[in-house]
Structure 1
Amino acid sequence: MATPLTASKLVQVLRAEGLTVHEVRNWRTHNRNAKGPYGPMRGVMIHHTASSGTSGSVQLCYEGRADLPGPLCHGVIDKKGEVHLVGNGRANHAGLGDGDVLRAVTNETTLPHDNSADTDGNRYFYGFECINLGDGKDPWPDAQKEAIEKVSAAICRAHGWGARSVIGHKEWQPGKVDPRGFTMDGMRKRIADRLAGHGGSKGGGGSGSTTPKPPQQPPKAEYEPFPGAGFFHVGQSHPMITMMGHRLMAEGCSRYESGPSPDWTEADRKSYTAWQHKLGFKGKDADGIPGKASWDLLKVPKTRR
């Protein structure tokens, strides 16, 4: 779970990943927030537009249809691998989906079969529409698939997520087939590879690739195991505390005036209290001392010592 990226931060992380980003009209304030909550974010959802042509597809995703007002996603990925941002906030892209799938995405575990539509996905997912007819014949250029990989990795990196936080619409809502033309398991392998520092491969991700990538298992994200509540006390100094502080800042829970640092301080305790409150803990369960449940959800990256 994470606080939605601001418009400026989204542009920043996408460009930092090497993507060409186009800002469409008033996308920074274009949303459906008046129709329901937006956030906390749980993952990234990939779609195909079932249309052709960049200009018309981008306009459709910005404006929407008579029966489904725009924005229909947050960004459109064209055949050249360029990203057109059309919305910032709640967007009509995910619809109702399977709550069990949402829990799996949140916990980054194996996805169950989507067999119900009981949960509002527009609240929890970033959505990216990829220009493709979705007929199984329209090709997916390498540049476009690499852009999907980069977009997903950029957002996952910003929130400290792994590749399992990225799903296809077809894995969320019963009856959906998008994206059609490559496998999401293949795409997640590419994303995991990029997050591990080995991005840029042109292969993988399903059919249509001219240079297939050898099968591989995505590297498991390495997080610090819970060290026990007794670890966190005045006088404690450890690189893990610095990493924890950076994750709290990424989650919008910073109470730091400077830092964070390796030393456990009152600012760490107050910041962690804010994280516990964000998760819904109250009273003595939100005293600012990490517990295993909240620690595991924070996903503190493993320090190299």
Structure 2
Amino acid sequence: MAKPLTASKMVEILRAEGLTVHEVRNWRRHNRNTKGPFGPLNGVMIHHTVSSGTRASVDLCYEGHASLPGPLCHGVIDKKGEIHLVGNGRANHAGLGDSDVLRAVVNETRLPHDNEADSDGNRHFYGFECINRGDGRDPWPEAQKEAIEKVAAAICRAHGWTERSVIGHKEWQPGKVDPRGFTMDGMRRRIADRLKGNGNGDGGNDGGGTTKPRPQPEQPPKPPKPPKAEYEPFPGGGFFHVGQSHPMITVMGHRLMAEGCGRYEVRPSPDWTEADRKSYAAWQHKLGFKGKDADGIPGKVSWDLLKVPKSGR
């Protein structure tokens, strides 16, 4: 249980996690507190909007509609992974849900199946709506999923919670299907990794106002001095191919996650997969490489800069 974060604290922790934050209109005083209590807080709930378009979705979540006044959440996560704060206090996002689920969230234990609607979720959960039509075909960009991970981790960190304090609407209220398009178990694994330090929480923000990612250099950096013996030497680009399995690939994956470049649904493994390629491509883009030089296949310059520790094989 926890007291609600103040508006200023919410902005602070989200930006500290490396997120771009937009403050929408009068969001700091926009709430449904006249209709019921807000707090104690026990967790974070993830939704999808069943809409498309950033402006229209943000306006909908701020204003609500005739049968459900806004705010409909505390923040909207857009396709680019940017956060639009629309409410501070009680919001119409969770509705009635299962008291057994609430008990499991409080105790941070495995969630039971939700089969009742007898507890006020708007009182106990922060709510974040993610822009997605929820039809099973609308894609979830990696930047958006990473933002969900960062938002949840930031709030959990602020309150001393684990990833088990993060749930989907579909795990709370019978009949709900959101978020649809990724698994909450997979998302909780990502959040757990970030809370353990496998995400650096530094998105390159310059601080103050609405943050923007810090531009990366247009040219690749100069090759560094040869790495010391504690790091894995570059094994050659041909080493990385489908079917390759090696402990060094696992260690590489954890380094990519520590650099904020992990694109894994689950934790890295010794097997070279498409998730490894996408993660390494994110690292190459972070260094300023473009085109064929950012295809996700390691090269010597980017590898030496990553500083992959010896795998101990």
Task: Give the TM-score, by structure 1 length.
Answer: 0.68
Deviations 1:150-178 (A, max 9, x none): 00000000000000000000000000000
Cα distance change of structure 1 residues 76 and 210 upon mapping to structure 2, 3 Å threshold: farther
The residue that corresponds to 2:70 in the other structure is: 70
Task: Note if contact 1:203-1:210 (Cα within 8 Å) is conserved in structure 2.
Answer: no
Task: Note if contact 1:142-1:203 (Cα within 8 Å) is conserved in structure 2.
Answer: no
**What is the percent sequence identity of the aligned residues?**
80
Task: Note if contact 1:136-1:181 (Cα within 8 Å) is conserved in structure 2.
Answer: yes
Where structure 2 has 5 or more consecutive residues not aligned to the other structure, the ranges are: 200-259, 267-272, 278-313
Task: Give the TM-score, by structure 2 length.
Answer: 0.66
Deviations 1:74-102 (A, max 9, x none): 00000000000000000000000000000
Deviations 1:87-130 (A, max 9, x none): 00000000000000000000000000000000000000000000
Task: Note if contact 1:78-1:144 (Cα within 8 Å) is conserved in structure 2.
Answer: yes
Partners of 1:170 and 1:24 in 2: CA distance: 27
Task: Note if contact 1:32-1:90 (Cα within 8 Å) is conserved in structure 2.
Answer: yes
Aligned residue identity for 1:47: H
The residue that corresponds to 2:264 in the other structure is: 203
Deviations 1:19-47 (A, max 9, x none): 00000000000000000000000000000
The residue that corresponds to 1:186 in the other structure is: 186
Aligned residue identity for 1:211: A
Partners of 2:147 and 2:181 in 1: CA distance: 15
Aligned residue identity for 2:184: M
Partners of 2:276 and 2:89 in 1: CA distance: 36
Structure 1 residue 212: Cα displacement: 6.9
What is the root-mean-square deviation of aligned Cα atoms in Å?
1.4
Structure 1 residue 202: Cα displacement: 1.8
The residue that corresponds to 2:209 in the other structure is: none
Cα distance change of structure 1 residues 75 and 212 upon mapping to structure 2, 3 Å threshold: farther
Task: Note if contact 1:202-1:211 (Cα within 8 Å) is conserved in structure 2.
Answer: yes
Partners of 1:210 and 1:17 in 2: CA distance: 26
The residue that corresponds to 2:221 in the other structure is: none
The residue that corresponds to 2:105 in the other structure is: 105
Following TM superposition, the consecutive aligned residue runs of length 4 or more in structure 1 with deviations greater than 2 angstroms are none
Task: Note if contact 1:204-1:212 (Cα within 8 Å) is conserved in structure 2.
Answer: no
Partners of 1:97 and 1:212 in 2: CA distance: 38
Partners of 2:143 and 2:35 in 1: CA distance: 35
Partners of 2:144 and 2:264 in 1: CA distance: 11
Q: Secondary structure at the match of 1:129?
A: strand
Instruction: Give runs of aligned pairs for residues 1-305 of structure 1, distance below 5 A.
Output: 1-199=1-199, 200=260, 201-204=262-265, 211=275
Q: Secondary structure at the match of 1:196?
A: helix
Q: Secondary structure at the match of 2:47?
A: strand
Partners of 2:274 and 2:25 in 1: CA distance: 36
Deviations 1:27-77 (A, max 9, x none): 000000000000000000000000000000000000001000000000000
Partners of 1:211 and 1:47 in 2: CA distance: 25
Aligned residue identity for 1:138: D
Deviations 1:229-266 (A, max 9, x none): xxxxxxxxxxxxxxxxxxxxxxxxxxxxxxxxxxxxxx
Aligned residue identity for 2:152: S
